[in-house]
Amino acid sequence: MKRFRPGFVPTLAVAVLLPLLVSLGFWQLSRGAEKSTLLQSYAERRAAEPMASTELQHTADPAFRRVRLHGRFDAEHSLLLDNRQRDGKVGVELLQPFQDQATGLWLLVNRGWLPWPDRRTPPSFTTPTEALSLDAWVYVSPGATFQLHADPNATTWPQLITAVEPARLWKALERDGFAYELRAQSGPATYRADWPVVAIGPEKHLAYAVQWFALAIALFGLYLYLGWHNAKENHNGSGHESTRHV
């Protein structure tokens, strides 16, 4: 140990930071594994045949499952989910209540992305008035319950929102509704319907993990260098002192 003297403060810093950096690296690896599992599940469920709308409320795990609907949109209570980007352009996603005729259940259907280049004028969209059939899939936000914040006391529609909570909306409208958002598949009633399943893919988490591990290695390497360098300086200093005494 005489050849390794890093000092108290560097040792304390490494004792605190090194486990933190390593744990962050392993956390990113676990998040990447979760995202891979999620994407695999999503792909399998999207490849399956759509279930009937009558099965939807009786499905224990509805996330990403396809469902076939037939009913009408409610054009009077539209929601515009703000701060949505596509190809670097700012816009909104249009969500509207949809009443399924087979069950009478209300569902919040996302009809897709709309550009909104000029905030001085509202985004332009139309709503089909006739009954129509469409396929959609249930979206559940990964890692958290999907929340939708709409003003229950609002009198002006469409509402501009930044997050979504269907149960709150159904309560405000006094309707029996489904607890999650449904995203319509591309068709005559949709706008741009190409949503990413996850905001950050597994490969990004792997890259972040590599960065955290690299920082941990760099920190430990610096600690070793500092310890050996200080020991060498102390040794040289002791040598000079001995020469002077002689």
212 and 177 together in one domain: no
Write down the pTM of the prediction: 0.69
Name the residue with higher pLDDT: 10 or 246.
10
**What is the domain count for the chain?**
2
Does the residue 50 lie in any domain?
A: no
Does the residue 53 lie in any domain?
A: no
Q: Which residues contact 50 (CB under 8 A, 6 or more apart)?
A: 66, 67, 68, 135
Predicted confidence (pLDDT) per residue in 40-65, tens digit: 877 787 778 999 999 998 898 898 89
Secondary structure element (H or E) that encloses residue 73, with its range: strand 66-73
175 and 235 together in one domain: no
164 and 240 together in one domain: no
Does the residue 214 lie in any domain?
A: yes
155 and 106 together in one domain: yes
Q: Which domain holds residue 89?
A: 65-184
Q: Are 50 and 69 in contact (CB under 8 A)?
A: no
Predicted confidence (pLDDT) per residue in 186-228, tens digit: 998 999 998 776 666 788 889 999 999 999 999 999 888 888 8
Does the residue 151 lie in any domain?
A: yes
Does the residue 234 lie in any domain?
A: yes
Say what the alpha-carbon torsion angle 74, 57, 110, 49 is, to the nearest 10 degrees: -120
What is the Cα–Cα distance from 45 to 63, expressed in whole angstroms?
A: 9
